[in-house]
Structure 1
Amino acid sequence: TKERLVVRNFKVWELGKCSMALQQAALVKDPTVSVNRIIWSPDGTLFGVAYSRHIVQIYSYHGGDDIRQHLEIDAHVGGVNDIAFAHPNKQLCIITCGDDKTIKVWEATSGTKQFTFEGHEAPVYSVCPHYKENIQFIFSTALDGKIKAWLYDNLGSRVDYDAPGHWCTTMAYSADGSRLFSCGTSKDGESHLVEWNESEGAVKRTYQGFRKRSMGVVQFDTTRNRFLAAGDEFVIKIWDMDNTSLLTTIEADGGLPASPRIRFNKEGTLLAVSTVDNGIKVLANADGVRLLRTLENRSFDASRSASETVTKVVT
């Protein structure tokens, strides 16, 4: 229906519990606060919001326009650059990273801090939690191009890679968790989308097709254990994971920014992309079109049922 369900302006829920650094420096001297990242928990009952000033807020979602305050965490000194959910030890946790060069792990029910990972020498740009063979770990990337991996303990990083481009980089696994990719853009605008050989810490494939000077940090996503998509040059670019040559580009009827943000749904049938007018376009393949039609029919049937109910009450 394209109906906006919820809108919330930024507001500190309990200012008294926040650090003096946040109260005095971040909110008084520079009250401008923006959203750096929003992400859903795996079961869709919670979502987390990372802000450009210290704070992470976790909301619980109960359907429709019903969202409720769940947790507010004064997580980092400076901006919170990324947030993720993970299940170490079968317990839902929130992972954050920030300008203070740290990664932190929080228990998702109480907000209790469980781990602080220190070792990066630059602000931490992104985190990517994952597990393999029952081993839980977190990849992190920093603005100096360093990629590190952490287990849920206090023994320091286990891995130290250098990301191509040595600046803003994000990481993601294929849907089945078997293949690791990263995409980043250097300060000079040179973008790199690569597949990693995890055991060797080396680049396995480098995908071709980026313009020489990307106008912003290129964002990417993976789907169906087969495709990579990235937003660059006012279009969406698609690669087959097994072929480094660009497969196709999608203009989405225009209106895209130079480096649009993109995200597939879990099934890979729908692709959301940001637009220059602060909107979102949703692209669909044949399966996605069928899904949307099913949802539209459900919405129509629900509205018709509600209308019939009202009519019966009135009569």
Structure 2
Amino acid sequence: MALQASLANDYTTSINRVTWSPDGFLFGVAYSKCMVHIYSYYGGDDIRNHLELEAHVGSVNDLAFSYPNKWLCVVTCGEDKSIKVWNVVTGAKQYCFEGHEAPVYSMCPHHKESIQYIFSIATDGKIKAWLYDNMGSRVDYDAPGHSSTVMSYNADGDRLFSCGTNKEGESYLVEWVETEGAIKRTYHGLGKSSTGVVQFDIIKNRFLAAGDEFMVKFWDMNNDSLLTSTNADGGLLASPCIRFNKEGVLLAVSTSDNSIKILANSFGIELLRTTKKHILLESLLGVF
């Protein structure tokens, strides 16, 4: 309640990230002022406060859920240049990873076989990787153009991609050879004068999408040339936030008037028609 009261009087505070746990029973909210809230979701409108963390000094820039040692934890990063791992039941801090020389912009927890690790990316474009121990960073890579970058794996977890924008406005969408810290493929078609950090998302194991130049742009993962783009009938932000649903048939896109447009392919349109709220959603509908 104290945090909510302070937010009401401070319009500079914002929400940086909202992320669901893998099982869909929890979601976390990262604020631009030190706090993280974890909520329990029981279906419908039943949402309950689960945990509050004073996670970092300054902004909490990103959060994600992971399962180190088979226990669900939430991982956070922030303006204080650190990455922290928290027990979602007790709120106890499990690990604190330090070594970045700039604020940590984003993270990407992942696992391969029995190895659990976290990629972290700072605003100076430095990428580090951490195991869940106190032995320090295992790698030190540079993001293309030393950009603020978001990394993400495809649905199968065997291909790693990133998208980001540097201080000069140059944006990069790439696929990595993760074991070598080398770029395998650079996708062409992003603008060279972005005003914000370009966001992207992955449609399972087939397509990439990014919000850029008042449009949503699409690539085939196996082809570096731009596949297609849409302005969604106009009204998009210069660098809109985008997010696909789990099936990859609906795409939410942020707009300049603080609303959200829902784009859909033919399967997505059919899905919308079967929902009770299809009239409301179809009023926002565009087709790609």
The structural deviation recorded for 1:282 is 1.1
From 3, 23, 42, the equivalent of 1:12 is 3
Equivalenced residues, count? 278
Residue 104 (structure 2) aligned to one of 124, 142, 154: 124
Counterpart contact for 1:215–1:233, Cα < 8 Å: no
Moved more, 77-86 or 283-292: 283-292
| Pairs within 5 Å for 1:28-177 | 32-177=12-157
**Could you say which residue in structure 2 is the equivalent of 1:267?**
247
Q: TM-score, normalised by structure 1?
A: 0.84
**How far off is 1:30 after superposition?**
6.5
Q: 1:11, CA displacement in angstroms?
A: 4.8
Check 1:247–1:73 CA distance in 2 against 1; reply closer, same or farther (3 A cut).
same
Unpaired segments of 5 or more residues in structure 2? Answer: 280-288
Shift of the alpha carbon at 1:259? Answer: 0.2
- How high is the TM-score relative to the length of structure 2? 0.92
Structure 2 distance, partners of 1:63, 1:86, is 22
In 1, Cα distance between equivalents of 2:218 and 2:3: 40
Q: 1:179 to 1:11 in 2, by over 3 A?
A: farther
CA distance in 1, matches of 2:12, 2:188: 38
1:3-54, Cα deviation, whole Å (9 max, x unpaired): xxxxxxx8527x9xxxxxxxxxx98x96742111111111211111100111
Q: Residue 37 of structure 2 aligns to which amino acid in structure 1?
A: Q
Task: Report if the CA contact (8 A) 2:30-2:60 is conserved.
Answer: yes
Return the letter of the residue paired with 2:16: N
- Structure 1 residue 167: Cα displacement: 2.9
Where do 4+ consecutive residues of structure 1 move more than 4 Å? none
Q: What whole-Å deviation, never above 9, does each CA across 1:48-89 have from its counterpart, x for those lacking one?
A: 110011100111112222211100000000100001011111
Q: Aligned-pair distance for 1:106?
A: 0.3
Q: 1:87, 1:288 → 2: CA distance?
A: 31
Separation in 2 of the partners of 1:170 and 1:191? 12
Aligned to 1:280: 260
| One-letter code aligned to 1:221 | D
1:292: how far off?
A: 1.4
- 2:178 is aligned with what amino acid? E
Equivalence for 1:185: 165
Gaps of 5+ in 1: 1-9, 16-25, 300-315
Determine what percentage of the aligned residue pairs are the same residue: 69
> Would the aligned equivalents of 1:98 and 1:125 in 2 still touch at CA under 8 Å?
yes
- The residue number in structure 2 matching 1:255 is 235
Aligned to 1:233: 213
Task: Name the structure where helix makes up a greater proportion of residues.
Answer: 1
Give the one of 193, 200, 212 matched to 1:213: 193
Contact 1:235 1:251 in 2 (8 A): yes
* CA deviation profile, 1:217-242 (whole Å, cap 9, x unmatched): 10001112110000000000000011
Higher strand share: 2
Aligned to 2:285: none
